[in-house]
Amino acid sequence: MCHHSLIYIERLLVCADICLQPSNWKRIVLGAILLASKVWDDQAVWNVDYCQILKDMVVEDVNELERVFLELIQFNINVQQSAYAKYYFDLRSIAEQHGLTLPIDTLDKKRAKKLEARSQNEEYDKLAEMVESGPVKAISLENLSKRRPSAAVIS
């Protein structure tokens, strides 16, 4: 899940033209972990469960964080096999350089294909849900960034 979280963080930084700052990094990391756990874990944690751990947050704040994060990455939750492999090996190299070991399962072709198929299924489900719900007025990233700053992403 940490690979996916990093991919989502990088996506957010690029798509929304946001920089990690002392004032926002915790919320950005939390948003990425929240999203990655829901997309990639078989038993994802509910937003209310995060509030039990993070006592200063209410469920509405976590919901807003998730919503804004998804909007800013343009609902792009798909992770290509090549992107996952890049992050996997980069993180492993960094860990080894610092004398650390990561409790990570080895990434083989079968596991990589399974991860990519799962990602595509999630993307298809989101698209089908959007089609079923009818037409939605689109908003550009430019408009998103001009809205009032949300406490969910930038504290």
- pLDDT one-digit tens code per residue, 17-41: 989 999 999 999 999 999 998 888 7
User: What H or E segment, with its residue span, contains residue 8?
Assistant: helix 2-15
Identify the DSSP state of 115. Answer: H
Give start and end residues of each alpha helix (H) in 16-80: 25-40, 47-53, 59-72
CA 23 to CA 3: how far, in whole Å? 23
pLDDT of residue 151: 40
Residue pLDDT, tens place only, 76-119: 999 988 888 898 889 888 888 988 877 656 667 777 777 677 76
- % of the chain at pLDDT higher than 70: 74
Residue pLDDT, tens place only, 3-22: 899 999 999 999 999 899 99
On the question of pLDDT at 128 being above 90, the answer is no
- 3-class DSSP state for residue 1? coil
pLDDT of residue 155: 37
